[in-house]
Amino acid sequence: MTEPIPAPPWQTPKKPPPRQPLSQDLIVQVALRILDAEGLDALSMRRLAQELETGPASLYAHVANKDELLDLVYDTVLSEVEIPVPDPDRWPEQVKEYLRSLRTVFRSHRDLARVSISRIPLGPNGVVGMERTMALMRAGGLPDDIAAYAGDLLASFVTTETLDDAFPAGGTDPATPRAYAAQIRSYLTSLPVDRFPNLVHMAGPITSLDSERRFELGMEIIVRGLSTYARPAGQDSSAGSG
Amino acid sequence: MTEPIPAPPWQTPKKPPPRQPLSQDLIVQVALRILDAEGLDALSMRRLAQELETGPASLYAHVANKDELLDLVYDTVLSEVEIPVPDPDRWPEQVKEYLRSLRTVFRSHRDLARVSISRIPLGPNGVVGMERTMALMRAGGLPDDIAAYAGDLLASFVTTETLDDAFPAGGTDPATPRAYAAQIRSYLTSLPVDRFPNLVHMAGPITSLDSERRFELGMEIIVRGLSTYARPAGQDSSAGSG
DNA sequence: ACCTGAACACCGTTCAAGT
DNA sequence: ACCTGAACACCGTTCAAGT
């Protein structure tokens, strides 16, 4: 009811932390923070605006729409991926190093795999990544068309394999996924053996691979498949005189 | 203002087409029709209710929530997938037949690939499909753990490869994807050669594979990789006496 | 040029009330 | 048991108006 007493002039008004002026960079940065902390479902234009202490409409001066924002977030994160400088002698191992780094980055930003789906990374970092990936693929002695496709196939593999274990990288609670796996296993085991002999037999193997081993196995399968396309060393067309 | 004149009793009231009573089956069926015709973004609970001439709340008597609805839709469609009865001599070819069928089904229901993402198909049709898939995988002489994982890997492959060409199967307009590819190619070609030698070199191969050839190539790569894990025939453990 | 409030046209889900 | 209207707590985006 009573009017609040105005602050005396000698009191430094506790200025609200001098809100940084809006910019595309800042918007992307805060969006990434929300993504990391709370995931894609929590990242709305309105929530983002709130975090930036402004209204949702203000964002559209710096970003065309939500889709473009996600493009920018995705590209930003791609700077963290480490891609080995090709050493043809270590090709299979280097491919795996690249994929492991990609996985680590995907796992360290919540829901990034979901963001990456059907997004072609053509931003500044994405393009640099693609250049290095192509360099690496070609070092395996793959024909150009196979090398080109291999880049896509491998990245898609990491995406799908990362989609499910959406918990943060430092995830210390293996209980939840394991409990879920156990639940599925017991369901499969409970099926009538005469109609589902293979499912009953395979209930164990189907549910017992953890995400780490799935990933390592998947990499190995694809790399072996790709290796069958490699030209024998010494016939590397890019090594000849130009 | 004036009261409408009541219809005379002798006039057969043009009964609104005797709306079928709500049921889970009907709801799933109509949901699939919306999906096919207009895609996942058009499939909202409200829109679905409207199509069924009822309110959104009514759906929740038959379906727990939207996620469960999508589970049901996905399972329904899985009945269309054809999985060969295993013939070990034709293993690689049969795996491909299965994958091609899966792709056809995914492509003939708009956005089904998106629906399938991070959904484990444990409904009645899904479980039958899984049983047959496991039978097929094992026929290749793969160790159980490899066979189990192979099922996932191959299905994920089809999903991602189907995600992008989201146009209907009968798609007669190859212009759009090709135009997009051409756009990317010209962008890649325009990059500075000294910093992006591999991208410039690979611009052609990267953008010239159509979805059909990508799919065939991807299958071949993975199947070759899997084949390296096959036990030699005659050592098939499941064939021995029990 | 940048920012804003208000509005438009939507969402999924719940809940008390009806039959 | 099934269905309903109304409400709750949200969405992305646009637009006229302000500075």
Contact B225 A229 (CB under 8 A): no
Helix extents (H) in A1-90? 24-38, 45-51, 56-59, 66-78
Helix extents (H) in B39-90? 45-51, 56-59, 66-78
DSSP structure string for B137-178: HHHTT--HHHHHHHHHHHHHHHHHHHHH--S-TT---THHHH
User: Which A residues 19-58 touch B at CB under 8 Å?
Assistant: none
Q: Does domain B24-63 have CATH number 3.40.50.720?
A: no
Q: In a 10 Å sphere around its CB, with 0-12 CB exposed, 13-18 middle and 19+ buried, how is residue A54 labelled?
A: middle
B118 part of contact set with chain A, CB < 8 Å: yes
Left (φ > 0), alpha (ψ -120 to 50) or beta: where does A240 sit?
beta
End-to-end CA distance of chain A: 86
Residues A99-110, mean pLDDT to the nearest whole number: 98
Q: What is the predicted pLDDT for the residue at A98?
A: 98
- pLDDT, greater one: A97 or B234: A97
B167 part of contact set with chain A, CB < 8 Å: no
| Closest to A134 (Cα-Cα) out of A98, A102, A158 | A98
How far does the CA of residue B169 sit from the closest CA of chain A (Å)? 19
How far does the CA of residue A60 sit from the closest CA of chain B (Å)? 22
Residues B61-79, mean pLDDT to the nearest whole number: 98
Instruction: List the single residue in B131, B144, B184 with the smallest CB-CB distance to A196.
Output: B131
CA angle A31, A36, A37 (to 5 degrees): 100
CB pairs under 8 A between A and B: 131
B146 part of contact set with chain A, CB < 8 Å: yes
Q: Where along chain B do its domains lie?
A: 24-63, 80-170+209-227
**Residue count of chain A:** 242
A33-69 pLDDT tens trace: 999 999 999 999 999 999 999 999 999 999 999 999 9
- Each as own residue / partner, the long-range contacts of residues B16-21 (CB below 8 Å, 24 or more positions apart, any chain) are B16/B53, B19/B52, B19/B53
Contact B145 A209 (CB under 8 A): yes
Contact (Cβ atoms closer than 8 angstroms) between residue B152 and residue A207 = no
A175's tokens: 């209980």
Confidence of residue B241 (pLDDT cuts 50, 70, 90): very low
Same fold, A24-63 and A80-170+209-227: no
Contact A228 B224 (CB under 8 A): yes
- Pick out the nucleotide with least CA–C1' distance to A23: C2
Distance B203 CA to C17 C1' (A): 65
How far does the CA of residue B156 sit from the closest CA of chain A (Å)? 7
Residues A125-152, mean pLDDT to the nearest whole number: 98
Instruction: List the single residue in B164, B195, B221 with the smallest CB-CB distance to A226.
Output: B221
A147-203 pLDDT tens trace: 999 999 999 999 999 997 654 433 445 567 788 899 999 999 999 999 999 999 999
Q: Does domain A80-170+209-227 have CATH number 3.40.50.970?
A: no
Given a cut of 50, is residue B12 above it in pLDDT? no
| Closest to A70 (Cα-Cα) out of A49, A104, A40, A105 | A40
Distance A50 CA to C5 C1' (A): 14
